[in-house]
C-alpha cells in the first residue's frame, strides 16, 4: 500500500480529525522535501511520540529572497513519498502554492527579537516567511506535537516563540543535527556542492567546534569569532555571513569577555554558490 497524499487543507483536516476522534496522538514533521537522513530522523522521533505521523512537503516561496534558490530547489515527490513510507509516516501533505496562499492572502506572522539577528539580518524577510508558513501548517494540521531540527537552530527558537505567543496548542520537539561522517550537517542544499566544494564543506562544522573549544579554554567570544571567520576564509568560503556566539534560547549577544551562560555558536557561509549553515552547543 503506498503512502496516502493529500493536497488540500480540507482533506488534511478530515484525516487528522478522524485520527483524533479515535483517540490517536498525531505528530507532524514539516519539510521542504528532498528528504535526507536528517529529515527521516525527525520522522522517527515523531513516530516514537505519536500514533500517526504526518509529514508535509512544501517549498515555501515566501521564505526565499528574490535572488535565492526557490526555482532551483530540488523537488522529487515520488522519492520523498517512498522514503516517508519506509519510516512509517502515515500521511503526506503536499499542497500547491495556491492552496497555501490563495489570492488575496495578506496576513504575515513576524516574530520580533529572536528572528532579527543572524539569518534574520542576512536574509531579510526569511523568518517572516517561515513564521507565517509554520503557523499556517500547524493550524491546518492540528497535530498534538510537531518536530523540528536543531540544524535550523534559529528557526527552532522562532517557532517556539510563535507557538507560545499565539497560544497554538501543540508541543514542539527538537531533533539533534544529523551529520555526514566528516561532520558536514546534512542538508538538501548539499546537492549543489561540486566534489571540491563538498571536500571543503566540513570546515564549517570543524570551525564551529574550534570556537567551542576556545571558549572552554577561556577565550572571549569576540576573539574566537574572529579566528573562525579567518579560518573559513582560508578554507575557501567565498562569503562569511556570520560566526557568532549567542545565548542558547533568546539568541542575544553575550559578553564581552568569557562566556558563562548556556550558549550556542552559529555560523553561515557561502561555498561557491551554496549557502551553508550550522551550529553547536557551547
Ligand atoms: P527543510 O526541509 O530544510 O525545511 O527542513 C525540514 C526540517 O528538517 C527542519 O526542522 C530542519 O531543521 C530539519 N533538518 C534539516 N536538516 C537536518 C539535519 N541535518 N539534522 C536534523 N534535522 C534537520
Enzyme catalytic residues: 39
Supply the pLDDT for residue 1: 65
Q: Rounded to the nearest whole angstrom, what is the distance from the C-alpha of residue 151 to the centroid of ligand 1?
A: 6
Q: Rounded to the nearest whole angstrom, what is the distance from the C-alpha of residue 175 to the centroid of ligand 1?
A: 9
Q: Rounded to the nearest whole angstrom, what is the distance from the C-alpha of residue 38 to the centroid of ligand 1?
A: 6
140 lines ligand 1 (CB under 6 A): no
Supply the pLDDT for residue 8: 99
State which of 32, 75, 152 you would mutate to test the pocket of ligand 1, scoring each by most atoms of that ligand within 8 A of its C-beta: 152
Q: Hey, whose CA ends up nearest to atom 10 of ligand 1?
A: 148
Q: In this model, does residue 273 exceed pLDDT 90?
A: yes
Grid cell in block for residue 55: 509529514
What integer is the mean pLDDT of 64-71?
96
| Distances in whole angstroms, Cα of residue 182 to Cα of each of 21, 200, 203, 247, 275 | 46, 10, 9, 27, 18
Q: What is the pLDDT of residues 121-176, one digit of tens each?
A: 999 999 999 999 999 999 999 999 999 999 999 999 999 999 999 999 999 999 99
DSSP assignment of 201-258: TTHHHHHHHHHHHHHHTT--HHHHHHHHHHHHHHTT-SEEEEEEEEETTT--B--SSS
| 81 neighbors 44 (Cβ within 8 angstroms) | no
pTM of the entire predicted model? 0.98
Tell which atom from ligand 1 comes closest to the C-alpha of 185: 19
DSSP 9: H
Tell which residue, 173, 176, 129, has the closest CA to residue 150.
176
What angle, 0 to 180 degrees and rounded to 10, lies between the N-to-C axes of helices 203-216 and 221-234?
160
Q: What is the pLDDT of residues 212-271, one digit of tens each?
A: 999 999 999 999 999 999 999 999 999 999 999 999 999 999 877 778 889 999 999 999
The dihedral formed by the CA atoms of 245, 30, 74 and 101, expressed in degrees to the nearest 10: -110
Q: What is the pLDDT of residues 178-205, one digit of tens each?
A: 999 999 999 999 999 999 999 999 999 9
Cα distance from N-terminal residue to C-terminal residue, the chain: 45
What integer is the mean pLDDT of 2-21?
98
Q: Rounded to the nearest whole angstrom, what is the distance from the C-alpha of residue 137 to the centroid of ligand 1?
A: 16
| 93 neighbors 54 (Cβ within 8 angstroms) | yes
CA distance 40 to 161: 25
38 lines ligand 1 (CB under 6 A): yes
148 lines ligand 1 (CB under 6 A): yes
204 lines ligand 1 (CB under 6 A): no
63 lines ligand 1 (CB under 6 A): no
Q: What is the pLDDT of residues 49-65, one digit of tens each?
A: 999 999 999 999 999 99
CA distance 248 to 150: 12
Q: Rounded to the nearest whole angstrom, what is the distance from the C-alpha of residue 105 to the centroid of ligand 1?
A: 27
Amino acid at each position: 500500500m503506498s503512502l496516502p497524499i493529500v493536497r488540500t487543507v480540507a482533506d488534511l483536516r478530515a484525516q487528522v480529525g478522524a485520527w483524533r476522534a479515535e483517540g490517536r496522538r498525531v505528530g507532524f514533521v514539516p519539510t521542504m522535501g528532498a528528504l535526507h537522513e536528517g529529515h527521516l530522523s525527525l520522522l522517527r522521533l515523531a513516530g516514537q511520540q505519536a500514533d500517526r505521523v504526518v509529514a508535509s512537503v512544501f517549498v515555501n516561496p515566501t521564505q526565499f529572497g528574490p535572488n535565492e534558490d526557490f526555482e532551483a530547489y530540488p523537488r522529487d515527490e515520488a522519492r520523498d513519498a517512498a522514503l516517508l513510507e519506509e519510516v512509517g509516516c502515515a500521511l503526506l501533505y503536499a499542497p500547491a502554492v495556491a492552496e497555501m496562499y490563495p489570492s488575496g492572502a495578506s496576513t504575515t506572522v513576524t516574530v520580533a527579537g529572536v528572528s532579527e539577528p543572524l539569518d534574520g539580518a542576512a536574509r531579510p524577510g526569511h523568518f517572516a516567511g517561515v513564521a507565517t508558513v509554520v503557523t499556517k501548517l500547524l493550524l491546518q494540521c492540528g497535530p498534538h506535537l510537531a518536530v523540528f531540527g536543531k540544524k535550523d537552530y534559529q528557526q527552532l527558537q522562532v517557532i517556539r516563540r510563535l507557538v507560545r505567543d499565539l497560544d497554538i496548542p501543540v508541543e514542539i520537539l527538537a531533533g539533534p543535527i544529523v551529520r555526514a561522517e566528516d561532520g558536514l550537517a546534512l542538508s538538501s542544499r548539499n546537492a549543489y556542492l561540486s566534489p571540491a566544494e563538498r571536500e571543503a564543506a566540513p570546515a564549517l562544522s570543524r570551525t564551529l567546534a574550534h570556537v567551542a573549544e576556545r571558549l572552554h579554554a577561556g577565550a572571549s567570544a569576540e576573539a574566537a569569532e574572529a579566528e573562525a571567520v579567518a579560518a573559513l576564509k582560508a578554507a575557501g568560503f567565498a562569503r562569511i555571513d556570520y560566526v557568532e556566539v549567542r545565548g542558547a534560547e533568546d539568541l542575544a549577544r553575550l559578553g564581552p569577555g568569557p562566556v558563562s551562560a548556556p550558549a550556542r555558536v552559529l555560523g553561515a557561509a557561502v561555498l561557491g554558490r551554496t549557502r551553508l549553515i550550522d551550529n553547536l552547543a557551547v
